[in-house]
Structures are given as C-alpha cells and as structure tokens.
Amino acid sequence: MILVTGGTGFVGAHLLYHLLQSGKSSVRSLKRTGSSTEFAKKIFSCYSKSPDQLFNKIEWVDGDILDYYSLSDAFAGVDYLYHAAAVVSFHPEDKNKVIRTNIEGTANVVNAALEQKVKKMGYISSIGVLGRAGNQGLTDEETYWKTSSKNSLYSKSKYEAEREVWRGIAEGLDAVIVNPSIIVGPGNWNTGSPQIFQTMWKGLKFYTGGMNGFVDVNDVAHAMIMLTEGDFSGERYIINAENIRYKQFFEWMAAAMNLPAPKYKAGPLMSSAGWRLLKAMTLFTGKRSSITQESVRTANQVYRYSNQKFTEATGMKFMPVKESVEKTAGLFLKDYHPSLTRSS
C-alpha cells in the first residue's frame, strides 16, 4: 500500500497521477474531512484523456496531519509513504498555520510512520532549508542552514520540519528527502508558483535582476518515486533542472503566451517601494497581495543550486525549464483564455 499526504495539493496530486500511471494498484491519499478532490482530478485531466479511469483508483481517507490518531489509522498497512502536505505561504498573518502544519504536522507524520512500521518515507522539503552560497557560489546538499533574519517564515518552518524527519531517521525510520527548487507546472493559478502565469497574463511590466533554480513538477514527482522506491536511504537530494535569470524566465513565459515581455528592471529599492504600496492597498481593497517583503527580497538575489548528487545517483535527465514553461503556459491558456481579459 502507498499513501500520499497532501494529495489534494499541487505536488501531491502530481505524485498521485504518476504513481497510478506507472501501474501502482494500491494507492491511498489523505484528505481533510470535507475537503474537495476536484483539484486533484483536474491535474489528472491535464495529462490524460480519460482521467477518471486512473483517478477512481485512489482510496481517499479522511484525516489530518495535525490529528495524530487519524494518521495512525490511515497509515495502517502502508509500505511507502509520500509526505507532501504543507502550507506554502510567505504572508506574516499565516505564521501560526504555517508553523503548526509544517512542523507539528510533520512530527505527527514521522511518529505515526514509526508506530505503524511504514517501510519507507519520502519527504518533500524545500530548497529554502539549505544555506545560501552567495552570488558566485553553488549551493549543494552540504551547504548548511544559517540562521538569519533574511530566511523566510516558510523556509524556517520547512527547516524545522526536515529536522523532524532526520529525528525519525535516527529513531529507525527509513526515509529520503528531496529539496526542490521553484516548481513549474499546472496548479491553482491563484496561489503558489503557478500564480506567476496568472500575473503574466494580467500584464507583468517589471523583472528583477535575480536568479533561481527551477524544475518541472513532473520531474519532482518522478524523482520522489525513484528515490523512495529505490535503494536510497537517509539522504537529501536537490531537485533542480536549471538555474535561470528571472528576466529569461519571464521572457519565455511571455513568448509562450503571446504577450509582451516585461521591459522594466525593478531593483531592490523599486521592488521594496512597490511591495509597500501593494501592502497599503490591501487596507482599501481587502485583497491580499501576492507580493510580500520576503518574495521581493528573494527576487533580487542570485541563487544557484547543484543537481550533481541526484543526477549522478539516478541518471535522471530533467525537462528543460523553457519546455516546462511552454507546456505550463499552454495548460494555463487552455483553462483561462476564453474568460480572461488581459489588463491594459
């Protein structure tokens, strides 16, 4: 039996699809009572002409990673566990939710996995838990975390959550950890990394001078399955296809959506002023800005990540980021082109 936490979310839904597509017959997914599975079904429809045929094979079970006893029941008889449930947010007002779900929830998952003697767990961490090597450096799995006020709330929560997994490993849990860079792919176009396609469609005018790592969501799912079901244990692996300048990334997006590319460079000062203006506007509109102080800070930094450890261990080839952007843009347009009107 295979179980996925976070199966109604971005990465979890893709994991479910690829597990079933590969022929797995016993796949269970945890969901909170009353939560919808329609998003996961929509992800299946992105890749299959008959999504119901695969989707209906999922055994959905009610549970919550903040409710230990529901996990203990759900994990009974599970061989492979994929822990993808998390709250991804950079908004200060979400602090309690992020900390509780990502840290306390992961501790519960680890404890339940130990109690139920799960054969192996794959944990989806974040690139943000690794130290930054600086503008000229290359971050790898040995670039350790440095406590800093510049670390985002989300990164801090995932760092502490990952420590819970390492604690489980020390107590006898067979586990492997993946640290994906920025994940590109179809999802909820109003939140998370897929939201940038919505932003581009509405008329993105500015780019920043930063650089970051990017990887296709399907490659993240393939890597998770390969590492969790393979002969890999007690290790973390960076999952990153390429390190790309934001300017180049936005140009690829714009071309794929037949839109003009952002032509104005926003440096740190302009970005900071823009963030403060949008923050002030929320007082009048009641709508939360997708841009936060932390996202502005990150967008102006240069981060490079090495995938050498993973590629040498597995031989897996990553989808080029340009191809991932083009495919994702195509799915976005398929969803929204008839109903959206681009901002002038």
Read out DSSP for 122-187?
EEE--GGGSPP--TT--B-TTS-----TTS-HHHHHHHHHHHHHHHHHHTT--EEEEEE-EEES-S
pTM of the predicted protein model: 0.88
Residues 6 or more apart from 278 whose CB is under 8 A from it?
289, 291
CA distance 2 to 129: 27
**1 — pLDDT class (breaks 50, 70, 90):** very high
Task: Name the residue with higher pLDDT: 42 or 92.
Answer: 42
pLDDT at residue 271, rounded to an integer: 44
Q: Angle of helix 105-115 relative to helix 153-170, nearest 10 degrees?
A: 20
Q: Is the pLDDT assigned to residue 288 strictly greater than 80? A: no
For 85-94, 152-161, 194-203, which range has the lowest pLDDT when averaged over its residues?
85-94
Q: At 293, which amino acid appears? A: Q
Angle at 158 between CA 155 and CA 161, to 5 degrees: 155
Residue range 114-130: mean pLDDT, rounded: 95
Domains of the chain by residue range? 2-186+212-244+305-320
- Give pLDDT tens digits for 241-279: 999 999 999 999 999 999 999 888 876 544 444 333 334
Q: Are 141 and 87 in contact (CB under 8 A)?
A: no
pLDDT-based confidence at residue 281 (cuts at 50, 70, 90) = very low
CATH C-level class of 2-186+212-244+305-320: alpha beta
- pLDDT of the residue at 342: 43
pLDDT category, 135, cuts 50, 70, 90? Answer: low
State whether the Cα torsion 160-268-277-205 is positive or negative. negative
Check residue 258 and give its pLDDT: 93
